[in-house]
Amino acid sequence: FGQDAEAGKRIFARCSPCHAVGPNAPNKVGPELNGLFGRKAGSVPGYAYSPANLQSGITWTEEEFTAYIKDPKGVIKGTKMSFAGVKNEQEVKDLVAFLKAFDAD
Ligand code: HEM
């Protein structure tokens, strides 16, 4: 069991109603997710974040992302991301592998 970006692509279908990744990905309901790892929370230009997200102090490492995506509202209290999360450890790893393939813009 490693990280499977192909599986992660299928899991990203749960995110894509609200998030885009890839070349010229636009902000949608949520911010675009290019170059996520290493990025500071709340830093995508032109996206109107909640105060909670802006003030979270998080930098999106794999560890921080894993905690957040399992329980978004638990990790960033007051976030406007209305999503229950991805609870399954393997699914989160696959999602990380998928997202890592997309560098900044
Ligand atoms: C924010 C990932 C599903 C709406 C975020 C952030 C991440 C993320 C990492 C923080 C971005 C940043 O700080 O720049 C994901 C992933 C998803 C998912 C991986 C699927 C597994 C969704 C869904 C929705 C959504 C389904 C809409 C129903 C939002 C919104 C924000 C956000 C509105 C901004 C939060 C705020 O400003 O408080 N998401 N998301 N996300 N997401 Fe998601």
The ipTM assigned to this model is 0.99
Q: Which residues line ligand 1 (CB under 6 A)?
A: 14-15, 17-19, 29-31, 36, 41-44, 49-50, 52-53, 69, 79-83, 86, 95
State the DSSP string of 15-82.
TTTT---STTPPP-SS---TT-TTPBTT--TT----HHHHTS--B--HHHHHHHHH-HHHHSTT----
Q: Please report which confidence band the pLDDT of residue 104 belongs to, taking 50, 70 and 90 as the band edges.
A: confident
What would the pLDDT profile of 42-100 be if each residue is shown by its tens digit? 999 999 999 999 999 999 999 999 999 999 999 999 999 999 999 999 999 999 999 99
Q: Please report which confidence band the pLDDT of residue 105 belongs to, taking 50, 70 and 90 as the band edges.
A: low
**3-state SS assignment for residue 95:** helix
CATH code for position 78: 1.10.760.10
Residue owning the nearest CA to atom 10 of ligand 1: 41
In a domain, 96, yes or no: yes
In a domain, 105, yes or no: no
Contact call for residues 14 and 100 (beta carbons, < 8 A):
no
In a domain, 85, yes or no: yes
**8's tokens:** 């992660």
In a domain, 76, yes or no: yes
* Domain count of the fold of the chain: 1
| Full domain range(s) for residue 67 | 5-100
